[in-house]
């Protein structure tokens, strides 16, 4: 082992924090579009186009059974590679919460009917979204969910992929990607805190924008866009995820030095690439 390798082995490796990300999709002519947010320069992956998402809060794991419906989280345990149902629930709730916070889309019912843009425009919804996005406050939305009789639709999510930040990174995320169809009656709006703009884009258009230097799309996002493009439609992508016909292997990237340039190495692909 070289000196550099021994030094690397002796460095503290930051723990990978559980996170959830959602590919919102809607029909397009042709094919399928997905929602991409541009990250604020002060946030993680500043300036990049990303799917809505973020870290799991402890409160996500403790959401009352009255405030969600869908498949029992215990059945997600093995699928998501987590130790228990509480961890599975946390990932699912975080996926819904972060999609509401960052994209203004809420996968839920209110008083027994689907949430619509009319609900989302109410001052109470706007204020809660602002508090969730605030850099100065850690807001627990559970009481508000109960007050508004909101029930999260965890069944609107299907597992898509699993990505882990390289060990060399100062901040690391253990991220499960989900796919969800844009609910009828809802549009989307970025939060203006973590993000600065949004766009609906076909996978090919987003990948071309990155290739031509018109946008930054980080490697995991690019790979997920490529897979979405293969499926070609909202329903085909949803069925593949819901029926387990997607690659859910744990993909932990690594950084490699190639001729003085740091590249990222996919564990199941031969050649390193730019992140």
Burial tier of 33 (Cβ tally within 10 Å: 0-12, 13-18, 19+): buried
- Find the domain containing 83 and state its range: 15-244
Range from 21-30, 32-41, 51-60 carrying the lowest mean pLDDT: 32-41
Using an 8 Å Cβ cutoff, are 56 and 91 in contact?
yes
For residue 216, the tally of other CB atoms under 10 A from its CB is 16
Give the CATH number, domain containing residue 44.
3.90.79.10
Number of domains within the chain? 1
In a domain, 133, yes or no: yes
In a domain, 44, yes or no: yes
Rg over alpha carbons for the chain, rounded to the nearest Å, is 19
The 10s digit of each residue's pLDDT in 121-167 is: 999 999 999 999 998 889 999 999 999 999 999 999 999 999 999 99
In a domain, 8, yes or no: no
pTM, rounded to two decimals: 0.92
In a domain, 9, yes or no: no
Q: Is the pLDDT of residue 41 over 70?
A: no
The gap from C-alpha 123 to its chain's centroid, in whole angstroms, comes to: 26
Q: Give the separation between CA 204 and CA 62, rounded to whole angstroms.
A: 39
In a domain, 222, yes or no: yes
Using an 8 Å Cβ cutoff, are 32 and 24 in contact?
no
42: confidence class by pLDDT, cuts 50, 70, 90: low
In a domain, 255, yes or no: no
Mean per-residue pLDDT of the chain: 92
């Amino acid at each position: 082992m070289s000196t550099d390798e021994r030094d690397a082995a002796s460095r503290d490796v930051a723990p990978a924090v559980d996170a959830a990300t959602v590919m919102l999709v809607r029909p397009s002519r042709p094919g399928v579009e997905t929602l991409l947010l541009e990250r604020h320069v002060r946030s993680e992956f500043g300036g990049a186009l990303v799917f809505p998402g973020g870290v799991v809060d402890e409160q996500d794991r403790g959401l009352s059974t009255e405030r969600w419906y869908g498949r029992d989280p215990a059945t997600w345990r093995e699928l998501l590679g987590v130790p228990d149902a509480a961890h599975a629930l946390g990932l699912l709730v975080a996926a819904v919460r972060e999609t509401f916070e960052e994209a203004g889309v809420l996968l839920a019912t209110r008083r027994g009917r689907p949430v619509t843009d009319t609900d989302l425009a109410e001052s109470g919804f706007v204020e809660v979204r602002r508090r969730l996005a605030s850099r100065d406050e850690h807001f627990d939305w559970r009481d508000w969910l109960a007050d508004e009789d909101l029930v999260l639709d965890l069944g609107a999510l299907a597992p898509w992929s699993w990505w882990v930040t390289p060990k060399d990174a100062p901040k690391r995320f253990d991220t499960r990607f989900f796919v969800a169809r844009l609910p009828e009656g809802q549009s989307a709006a970025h939060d203006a805190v973590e993000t600065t703009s949004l766009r609906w884009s076909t996978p090919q258009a987003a990948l071309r924008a990155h290739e031509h230097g018109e946008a930054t799309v980080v490697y995991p996002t690019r790979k997920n866009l490529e897979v979405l493009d293969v499926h070609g439609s909202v329903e085909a992508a949803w069925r593949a995820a819901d029926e387990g016909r997607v690659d859910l292997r744990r993909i932990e990237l690594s950084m490699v030095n190639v001729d003085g340039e740091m590249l990222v190495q996919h564990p199941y692909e031969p050649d390193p690439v730019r992140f």
